[in-house]
């Protein structure tokens, strides 16, 4: 076939794909409206329109008007959209929801023609395909993730990093994938022609197995080794897969030798990965290992402040922000989801967001995150912090060196436990509830005027929560 004829045939195929997507979207929209209800559909899904489609990765973009809408639709309807498109049988396996760029209408991302000899990067990522929330600049930094964020910046920078690979580990929903996408976006911004390859470890394994079955392992190897930046998510999923691990080892060895950059994430440190080849663990540990620990209270508050700044006209009071930060501690993703739910329901119902509304809407999430902190734990923590005997918490002594730590403990007992004022008073040596009220008011006032007292209370809260 001549090149001209091939291009005409390709254009016709692209047109057919676009028509098929439009038809499928019409059917999917009807089903979504029935499943989620007219109000939710009209508010969030009806305005969405088709964006780019990449036949190589079988990924379709759905475009919405704002970043907040993109985050909410992706979080609340992402799985439902993905299942609907996969069931439609039009070649869509993944769905990304993002803010609409200036350009309108669905189009096919450019794929290398068959006459081109260079390997096709099936999952190559372009920075413009990333949602703004995935940029490194928008990653909220605190003590628990600062090393990982700094290492990500170095890996994405124009200068060749002093280390590779970068191994980032942490629990689910703590920001590992955000950093991966942010690295890819920042790297592509200054090196737009450098191939970037991002895939989960599970996808790596599936593609390698398929390549072996189809006798296309050489093409698979060439595609991986062409990358100047390779990002592999959740490496723990290749545990026990001997042939996959062997290929992964050869891949990272070749890429390191060629000066490419490698970033790998997992849910635990290399030394704790089970059934992974010791040579791989040695390679991963030989670069820079950075952990992301669960967000502490200060970081959770900072994350919610950044979300509040993007909430538009919706007013989210400080007491609601504080309630969210103290109640949802499991991971950042769930914390952001709770905030998005409040804002979305506030917009839908027109109700102002206050503490009662937040407690009602997020009751299930709060129960799931609840860790029973006891008054006894608080008393012991305060005694240790202020270096007094724990028995002084119940004693009748009124010396300042004892009374102030006791007041702090009463304050924390009121803030962090469901105990009533009379119950707290009885636990603190049979005191009256008015004594507890006085202690709470005293510590609240001191936190406003004394940075040292505020720091002491914050430190104790972090200790007790985590």
CA distance 33 to 138: 33
Query: Is the omega angle on the peptide bond into residue 165 within 30 degrees of 0, that is, cis?
Result: yes
Q: Is 309 helix (H, G, I), strand (E, B) or coil?
A: helix
Whether residue 175 is annotated as binding a ligand: the answer is yes
For tokens 């928008």, the residue is: 138
For tokens 């439609």, the residue is: 88
- In this structure, what is the dihedral angle of CA atoms 41, 42, 47, 48, given to the nearest 10 degrees? 0
CA distances from 200 to 24, 109, 177, 205 (A): 28, 21, 10, 9
Give the side-chain half-sphere CA count within 13 A for 134: 23
For 355-408, give the DSSP string.
HHHHHHHTHHHHHHH-----HHHHHHHHHHHHT--GGGGTS----HHHHHHHHH
Q: Cα 347 from chain centroid?
A: 24
Handedness of CA 297, 298, 301, 306 (dihedral sign): negative
239, 207 contact by CB (below 8 A): no
- Nearest one of 338, 298, 335 to 461, comparing CA atoms: 298
CA distance 85 to 73: 15
Nearest-5° angle of CA 165, CA 277, CA 164?
5
Q: Is 19 helix (H, G, I), strand (E, B) or coil?
A: helix
Q: Which residues are annotated as a binding site for ATP?
A: 173, 175-177
């Amino acid at each position: 076939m001549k090149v001209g004829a091939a291009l005409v045939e390709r254009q016709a195929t692209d047109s057919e794909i676009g028509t098929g997507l439009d038809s499928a979207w019409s059917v999917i929209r009807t089903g979504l409206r029935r499943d989620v209800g007219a109000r939710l559909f009209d508010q969030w899904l009806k305005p969405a329109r088709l964006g780019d489609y990449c036949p190589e990765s079988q990924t379709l973009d759905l475009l919405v008007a704002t970043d907040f809408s993109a985050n909410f639709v992706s979080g609340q309807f992402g799985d439902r959209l993905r299942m609907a498109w996969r069931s439609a049988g039009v070649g869509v396996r993944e769905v990304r929801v993002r803010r609409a760029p200036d350009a309108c209408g669905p189009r096919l991302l450019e794929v290398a023609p068959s006459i081109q000899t260079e390997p096709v990067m099936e999952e190559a990522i372009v920075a413009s395909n990333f949602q703004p929330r995935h940029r490194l600049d928008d990653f909220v930094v605190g003590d628990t993730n600062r090393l990982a964020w700094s290492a990500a910046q170095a890996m994405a920078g124009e200068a060749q990093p002093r280390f590779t690979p970068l191994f980032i580990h942490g629990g689910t929903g703590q920001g590992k994938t955000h950093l991966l996408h942010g690295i890819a976006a920042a790297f592509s911004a200054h090196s737009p022609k450098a191939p970037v390859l991002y895939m989960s470890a599970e996808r790596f394994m599936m593609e390698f197995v398929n390549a072996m079955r189809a006798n296309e392992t050489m093409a698979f190897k060439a595609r991986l080794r062409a990358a100047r930046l390779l990002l592999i998510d959740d490496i723990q999923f290749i545990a026990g897969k001997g042939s996959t691990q062997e290929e992964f080892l050869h891949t990272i060895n070749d890429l390191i030798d060629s000066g490419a950059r490698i970033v790998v994430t997992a849910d635990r440190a290399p030394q704790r990965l089970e059934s992974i080849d010791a040579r791989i663990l040695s390679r991963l540990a030989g670069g820079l290992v950075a952990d992301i620990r669960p967000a502490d209270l200060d970081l959770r508050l900072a994350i919610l402040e950044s979300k509040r700044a993007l909430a538009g006209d919706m007013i989210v009071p400080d007491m609601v922000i504080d309630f969210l930060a103290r109640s949802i501690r499991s991971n950042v993703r769930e914390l952001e989801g709770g905030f998005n739910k409040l804002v979305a329901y506030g917009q839908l119902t027109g109700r102002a967001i206050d503490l009662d509304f937040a407690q009602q809407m997020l009751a299930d999430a709060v129960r799931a995150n609840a860790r029973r902190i006891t008054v006894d734990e608080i008393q012991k923590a305060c005694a240790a912090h202020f270096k007094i005997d724990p028995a002084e918490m119940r004693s009748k002594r009124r010396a300042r060196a004892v009374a102030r730590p006791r007041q702090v403990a009463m304050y924390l007992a009121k803030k962090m436990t469901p105990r009533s004022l009379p119950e707290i008073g009885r636990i603190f040596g049979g005191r009256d509830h008015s004594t507890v009220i006085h202690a709470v008011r005293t510590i609240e006032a001191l936190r406003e005027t004394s940075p040292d007292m505020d720091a002491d209370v914050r430190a104790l809260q972090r200790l007790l929560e985590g």
